Amino acid sequence: MKLIIAIVQDEDATRLISSLMTEGYGVTKLATTGGFLRSGNTTLLVGVSEDKFDNCLAIIEKVCKNRKQIATNPVTMGNTSEMYMSYPVEVTVGGATVFVLSVDQFIKY
């Protein structure tokens, strides 16, 4: 058995959870915050058997696509921290960060 920990953007989370549940996977949702853009994201925990593992990863890959987003990047002007100027920067967001752990024992009460 494997435990998949998938960190996805909030924008993809609802669709991913729906897709996984439609295919019969149990999903636990944790609300988390990303460090890079300080934007909301969702961490999903999915316990899967070995035979369903590849299909689960394929669903995550299909639903969670990378996309471009414009973010403002504050820049300090001069030696003082009082003057800020922000300019738009194109960044890639979305996709999924996936961790896979082997599970020795699974108990459901």
Q: From first to last of the 109 residues of the chain, give the pLDDT tens digit.
A: 999 999 998 888 999 999 999 999 999 999 887 665 566 789 999 999 999 999 999 999 999 987 776 666 655 555 555 555 566 776 666 689 999 999 999 888 9
For residue 108, tell me if it sits in a domain: no
Q: Give the pLDDT score at 86.
A: 66
Q: Give the pLDDT score at 39.
A: 64
Q: How far apart are CA 89 and CA 103, in angstroms?
A: 41
Q: Domain limits at 17?
A: 2-78+93-102
In sign, the C-alpha dihedral spanning 39, 2, 100, 58 is negative
Give the chain's domain count. 1
For residue 109, tell me if it sits in a domain: no
For residue 85, tell me if it sits in a domain: no
In sign, the C-alpha dihedral spanning 28, 32, 35, 37 is positive
Q: How far apart are CA 92 and CA 71, in angstroms?
A: 10
Q: Report pTM.
A: 0.75
